[in-house]
Amino acid sequence: MATFLRGANPGAQIGRAWRQFSSVSLTSGALGASGDAIDMRSFAGGIITGSSTCSATTLTFFHSAATSTGPFRAAYDKDGTAVTLTVAASRATELPTALFGAAWVRVQADTAASFEVVLKG
């Protein structure tokens, strides 16, 4: 557990929040079912890991500020570049920091694939 200084109680222990999704199944050219939205509201970090049979190489991210059912719009970073990520089978990759301000996120893969997402606050 990390130690942080805060207020009149320096050295107080503050726990980290984390949440694990068992899997997110992605279909080529589609955003997936409504249940595949990733709830980022309480988190600002995480990793995505391709399954051992994952053949996807690129993920594209979409966000919704309102609800888990959308509407979802393409996510862009501060420079106006679409938020994408290069992935591979069995590789854990850090989620792009441009997603940390999003409430709900969906992912589009370049081919059908399965991923595990672990979020950390």
Q: What is the pLDDT of residues 47-87, one digit of tens each?
A: 888 889 888 899 999 998 888 888 889 999 999 999 999 99
Please name the CATH architecture into which domain 18-120 falls: Sandwich (2.60)
Task: Name the pLDDT band for 109 (thresholds 50, 70, 90).
Answer: confident
- Whole-structure pTM value: 0.75
What is the spatial distance between Cα 24 and Cα 50, in angstroms, rounded to a whole number? 10
pLDDT at 103 over 70: yes
What is the spatial distance between Cα 115 and Cα 118, in angstroms, rounded to a whole number? 10
pLDDT at 87: 93
What is the spatial distance between Cα 104 and Cα 41, in angstroms, rounded to a whole number? 7
pLDDT at 93 over 70: yes
The tally of CA atoms less than 13 A away on the side-chain side of residue 17 is 7
